[in-house]
Chain A
Amino acid sequence: MMSPLATEELGKRFRRGWALRECTLTVPEQAIVGLAGPNGAGKSTLLELAVGMLAATEGSLSVLGRDPRRDPAALADVGYVPQGAPLYRSFSVAETLELARRTNARWDRELAHELLASLDSSRRVSALSAGERARLSLALAFGKRPALLLLDEPFAQLDPLAGRDFLRLLMDGVSETGSTVVIASHVVADIERVCDHIVLLSEGRVRLEGNVEELLASHLLLTGARRPLGTIRGVEEIVRERHSGRQSTLLVRTRGGVVDPTWSVDGIELEELLLAYMAPERLPRPVAPEPGRLRWHG
C-alpha cells in the first residue's frame, strides 16, 4: 500500500533560514501520527508543504502518491485544519458547511452534520466558542472523507475539556472515514492518548520517528550507582545520560531488554522519551516532571 504521506530529504528555507531540513519520513496508512516538537520546530511547515501551501526548497514529498504542488487534485483527498481553525466569521454554521459542499467534489453532508450534532446551524461563526469553531473546522475536514487528515495545533486554543471533546470527535470521525491522521502539537499530553506513530521534530529536523509501542518497548531508563560507563549488555545506544551525586540515570535504546543486575530498569513515558530526543547531545536540566501537561517552548 502507498504511504499517505512520505517525504525524502525534504527541506524548506525561508528568508530567515531553514524551517525544515533533511526530513525523511513515511507515515503508515491509517496511522494516527503525533507530530511533536517545540514551537518553531517545523511542524506547521511540514503540514503546509503537504497541503501545497508551500513549495519545497529541496527534496521531495508525496501525498497519497502525488506531489501536491504539481498535482493539486491530490488535495481533494486531504483534509486540513489549519492552526487557529480559520473560518469566515460572518458566515453561519450552515453557510460554512455550504461553502465546503460547494467547493469539494466529494462531500459527505451526513457525516459533517452528524459530527456537529448539537451545534445550531443558524448561529454565526463569530458567536461560536473556540471549541465549537474547532468542531466546525473538523467537521468541514471530515466532510471531504479525506484519506489523509492534517491538523495543525488543534488544541492550542482549547481548554482541557474542549480539547477532550475535540479528540473524541476526531476519533469518532476517524473510525467512520478510516483516515490517516497527522496531528501537530507541541503538547505531548494532548496527543499521546491517541497517536500510535510519532514524528518528533526539533529545529527543523526529524529527531525520532516510529511506532509508539515499539519506541516505548525499545527504550528503558536505567538507574544505578555512578561508574565509568562501559558497554551494558543489551544496550544498543545510550540516548541520554544524567549523573547526580553517586547516581547515574541512563536512557537507553535496546532490543530485547537489558540484562544487567547492577542497573534498576524502568520503562519510560512518551513525553519524557520525546524530551530526551529533542536534545540528546546536551545534559537536560533536572526536569520536575509535572504530570500531564508539560509545555515546550522552542
Chain B
Amino acid sequence: MAWVTWRQHRLQAYAGAALLAALAVAALVTELPIRAAYHSDPLSACLPPSTRTGCDLIVAHFRGEFTARLDALRYLIVLPALVGLLVGAPLVAREYERGTHRLAWSQGVTRGRWLLTKTALLTAATALAGLALAGLATWWRQPFDNLDGRISPRAFDVEGIVVPAYAVAALAFGVLAGVALRRTLPAMSLAVGLFFAARLGVEKLLRPHYLAPAHRTVAGIGPTAPTRDWVLSNSLVDAAGRTISTAREDAAIVHAQHAGIDPQSYLATLGWHRAVTFQPAGRFWTFQAIEAGIFLVLAAAAVLLALRLVRRAPA
C-alpha cells in the first residue's frame, strides 16, 4: 500500500515540497530587512518588560515599517485547509467518481485497511509539512515574538505544534467529507467548512479557557505597559470591581477637567483602576499541547467515522 499511496499522491507531494521551498525563499527575502532593522534600531533594549522612555516610538516605527508583511503572514492560517481541500477530499471521492474504488477495493486489501494505510501515510507527510511550515513561521516571526510574545493568536496560530495538528485535522475532515459525499467538489466545500468551523470555534470559544486566566490591576487610565501575554480583556473597574462604562468614564474625565484636577489622580481617588485579564506568555507550550491535542482528537474521530462509513457503504 505504501507504493500505491506514493504513486497516487506523488504529484501532491512534489507540489507540497515546491510550495514549502517557495515559501522558504519568500520568507528569507522578506525577513532579511526585518532582521537588519531589528538590529540597527536598539530594539533589544526595548523588549518587555522594559519601560524605557522612547521605546514606544522605536517599537511603533519598527512595527509600522513591516505591517504589510506581518499581515501577509496571517494568510498562513489557510494553508492547512488546503491539505483538506486538495489531498483529503479527493482521496475517496475521486475514487468513487471514477469508479476506481471498485478496482481498489476488490484487490486483496480490505477497504478499511486501504483507507487507514493511505490516511496514515498522508497524515505523516502532512504533519512533516506542517512542522516545516511552523518552523519557517517561527523563524520569520522571531523579532516580533520578542516584542509581543507567542501566545497571542497572531503568533500562536502559525507557530509550534498546532500547525501540523491543524493540517492533520484538515486532512481528516477532507477524507470524511469525501467518504460521506462521494463527490470531490462538494467534499472540498464541506472539508473547508468543517475545518474553519473547528478552527474558529476552538480559537474563540475554547482557547481563552484552557487554563484559568490571570488577572492584573493597573492604576489609572493610561496605556498599559507592553507585555508578551495574551490580553483577553482590559477594562476600567471601580473599587468594587464593577466595570465602568465608557460613558461614565468620559463623564468622570470631563468632570475632572472642569474641576481643574488631573483626571488620572481623580480616577485614582475614586478607587478606579484598570483590570487586565490575560493568559501569561509562559503558558505557550501548554496551550499548544492542549490545542494540538484537541485537533488530533477531532482528526482521529473524523477518520474513525470515515472508516465506519466506508466499511458500511454500498458502492
Give the B-binding residues of A (Cβ under 8 A).
14, 48, 51, 53-55, 72, 75-76, 78-80, 82-84, 86-89, 91, 95, 98-100, 102-106, 137, 140, 144
Give bound CA distance, A79 to B108, whole Å: 10
Give bound CA distance, A83 to B100, whole Å: 11
Partner of B108, one of A76, A82, A83: A76
Is B110's CB within 8 Å of the partner chain A? Answer: yes
Give the A-binding residues of B (Cβ under 8 A).
1, 3-4, 7-8, 98-100, 102-111, 114, 312, 314-315
Chain B residues with CB under 8 A of A55:
312, 314
Chain B residues with CB under 8 A of A72:
110-111
Q: A-B contact count, CB below 8 Å?
A: 69
Chain B residues with CB under 8 A of A78:
106
13 A-B residue pairings within 8 Å (CB atoms): A48-B315, A53-B102, A53-B105, A54-B314, A79-B106, A91-B7, A99-B3, A99-B107, A103-B1, A103-B4, A104-B108, A105-B108, A137-B103
Give bound CA distance, A153 to B134, whole Å: 52
What is the distance, in angstroms, from A119's C-beta to the closest C-beta of chain B? 17
With contacts A75-B106, A78-B106 taken as known, whether A102 is within 8 angstroms of B3 at the C-beta atoms is yes
Chain B residues with CB under 8 A of A144:
107-108
Q: Chain B's interface: helix, strand, loop or mixed, by majority?
A: helix
With contacts A99-B4, A102-B4, A103-B1 taken as known, whether A86 is within 8 angstroms of B99 at the C-beta atoms is yes
Chain B residues with CB under 8 A of A95:
7
Chain A residue nearest to B312 (CB atoms) is A55
Chain B residue nearest to A53 (CB atoms) is B315
Contact in complex: A75, B108 (CB < 8 Å): yes
Give bound CA distance, A86 to B101, whole Å: 8
Chain A residues with CB under 8 A of B99:
82-84, 86
What is the distance, in angstroms, from A125's C-beta to the closest C-beta of chain B? 10
Chain A residue nearest to B2 (CB atoms) is A102
Give bound CA distance, A98 to B99, whole Å: 19
Partner of A99, one of B7, B314, B315: B7
What is the distance, in angstroms, from B242's C-beta to the closest C-beta of chain A? 60
Chain A residues with CB under 8 A of B100:
86-88
Contact in complex: B98, A86 (CB < 8 Å): yes
Give bound CA distance, A238 to B99, whole Å: 44
Give bound CA distance, A165 to B224, whole Å: 85
With contacts A53-B314, A53-B315, A91-B7 taken as known, whether A103 is within 8 angstroms of B107 at the C-beta atoms is yes
Give bound CA distance, A144 to B107, whole Å: 8
Chain B residues with CB under 8 A of A84:
99
Chain A residue nearest to B113 (CB atoms) is A72
Contact in complex: A75, B110 (CB < 8 Å): yes
Chain B residue nearest to A87 (CB atoms) is B103
Give bound CA distance, A89 to B4, whole Å: 14
